[in-house]
Structure 1
Amino acid sequence: MVRAVRDRFDGRAPSYDGSAMHQGLARAVAEFADLVGVTTVLDVATGTGLVLRALRDLPGGPALRLAGVDVSAGMLGVARATLPDATLTQADARRLPVADRSVDLLTCVTGLHLIPDTARVVEEWVRVLRPGGRVLTATFAELDPSRHHRELAPGAAPPYPVVHDPFRTPEALGETVAASGLRVLRHAAWTDGYDRVLIAELGVGDGGRGRRPTASAH
């Protein structure tokens, strides 16, 4: 499956940043992020680095130490051209090339439905988070199939499993990550008028920081 995902996104790399949906969601995730006390960010399934770029463009963003991992060399090639100071590595999300307790904020945006072995992935998140660290996820609550089918050849389906149900709602996401000790601290709904996306902040307990109120849908 990893090879199939890699090959698919290698092919999409040249045009990926042309998607208004991808750009808008990256900005929404960055604006949702609580960056108090954050110096180190790791973006898992970073693709072309849209989320890292959106975080960099926030006030205080240039001071962040940014890193990203992805299985697609093509996507990372685009990311490197726009994020020359970030550490970008081709790697499997189930085996992050990152030291224990070294990350303040970990992001994973529209990637969970493509990564096999969710439990292993989430265990890696917990391993690399510093005490009080947070995870931000963005997962499809509902997507417009007609638009996503147009990204493929006519009549073609993705050549790999796509699993959305464990991440569609805050309750489902909470159940999916509970065994790792993570829980959903706050969440918001985002839409571009077609797809609906759940943006969620996860932490162990309350993450050791003051918890902001749960955000409302927008």
Structure 2
Amino acid sequence: MTTAPVQAGPGFAWPVGFNRIPDEPWARQSVDEFGLNYDDVGNHGWYKNLEPTIAQILAALGEDKIMVDFSAGTGILAKRLLSNIKHRVGILNVDASAKFLRVAVENLADDERAAFRLIKYLKDEKRLQLIDEVVEQPLLDVGADVITATNAIHLYYDLPETLQSWTRILRPGGLVFVCSANMHNPNAHAGDWIIDETVEKVNEIAAELVLREPAFEKYRGALEDSATFAAHKKLREKVFVPVRDLDYYVETFRSEGYEVMHTYDSTIFAQVEEWLQLLFTYHDGVMSWVGGSPKVEGTEPTEDALRDRRFLIRYSLEKLFSNVTEFPATWTYLTARLS
């Protein structure tokens, strides 16, 4: 279930001509179960990873300032911020998922400090819109004081282009706060996980079981056909993107005109059972080769296949973290200023 809506705050004067909630079909559609399931992830213990970023934002986001939460999802960060901010601010939640953003509207629509914009996929150009393409000129003229990207920057395929679009909405001297558990950080503690790399290990364990146990023989074809397996791996890597080095992010920010003020890391423990629930939510991206996917074979998996897929995900994760209920992961934080 979604959390209770944030109570209305003191209001905020958005620029004339800028509507907080756009009059678009996605904003009027019914709330989707997938979006609600993801919203519940915000209650999981590893979401304490937001606490350092929240502290930074609370210090930076003064009266009448504007923040853009890029890849805002269901508004998990905004909910926590608005419950702690008693003055006038504007928080624009931006995401590429209509299902997620619809839940954000459900949770935050009553607070005039919250606004929402959907980034659409442009089929003809084979790309997502940039932020200055979905934000109207009145807000672009005013500009944002802060941009955040929590648990998402590792998903941005073309990072330089993304940062260039941020520059076009951010005021000179504006701040960027980033955190991610999916960077190769040379300062990470020994034994810490890069959290998405658990997905590859889960697939390896599941593949061994499928090749060994007659009960799962029906899924061996996908493993043994190199073209099919490559297609499923490509699908998985769209959701759990191959990890890049921290240095890549630092150098890209600098090359795009940002001063990287500092980076730091923190070890945060994730509950195995809670991580399992997220993997269940994204099961098609985790292990689509078990039963197939409409994005690869063009057909939906059967109910039996979905049951086997969930069994294999659980079995493999519990085998990976046998005899423990939590595992350590490194979160990396980057703070930058637009020069």
Matches for 1:45-194 after TM superposition, within 5 Å: 45-60=71-86, 62-84=87-109, 85=111, 86-92=114-120, 94-96=129-131, 97-98=134-135, 99=140, 102-139=143-180, 140-141=182-183, 142-144=193-195, 145-146=197-198, 158=236, 160=238, 162-165=241-244, 168-169=245-246, 171-193=247-269, 194=328
- TM-score of the pair, normalised by structure 2: 0.50
- CA 1:15–1:42: 2 relative to 1, 3 Å: same
Instruction: Output the amino acid matched with 1:26.
Output: L
Name the CA distance, whole Å, in 1 between partners of 2:264 and 2:56. 8
Deviation at 1:101, TM superposition (A): 5.5
Name the CA distance, whole Å, in 1 between partners of 2:33 and 2:254. 35
Instruction: Work out the number of aligned pairs and report it.
Output: 190
Residues 35 and 103 in structure 2, CA contact (< 8 A), matched pair in contact too: yes
- CA 1:190–1:147: 2 relative to 1, 3 Å: farther
Instruction: Output the amino acid matched with 1:73.
Output: A
Deviation digits for residues 6-63 of structure 1 (CA, Å, limit 9, x no counterpart): xxxx874222233315632233321133325461010111101111122212344x52
Residues 49 and 76 in structure 1, CA contact (< 8 A), matched pair in contact too: yes
Name stretches of at least 5 consecutive residues in structure 1 with no aligned partner: 1-9, 206-218
**Identity across the alignment (%):** 21
Larger Rg computed on CA atoms: 2
Structure 1 stretches of at least 4 aligned residues deviating more than 6 Å after TM superposition = 147-150
Name the CA distance, whole Å, in 2 between partners of 1:49 and 1:79. 5
Name stretches of at least 5 consecutive residues in structure 2 with no aligned partner: 1-31, 121-127, 184-192, 208-231, 270-327
Instruction: Output the amino acid matched with 1:48.
Output: T
Deviation digits for residues 75-94 of structure 1 (CA, Å, limit 9, x no counterpart): 11111121113111111565
Residues 62 and 89 in structure 2, CA contact (< 8 A), matched pair in contact too: no
- TM-score of the pair, normalised by structure 1: 0.74
Q: Which residue of 2 aligns with 1:209?
A: none
Look up the SS of the partner of 2:60 in the other structure: coil
My pick for the range that moved more, 186-195 or 76-85, is: 186-195
Look up the SS of the partner of 1:18 in the other structure: helix
Deviation at 1:122, TM superposition (A): 0.4
After superposition, the CA RMSD in angstroms is 2.8
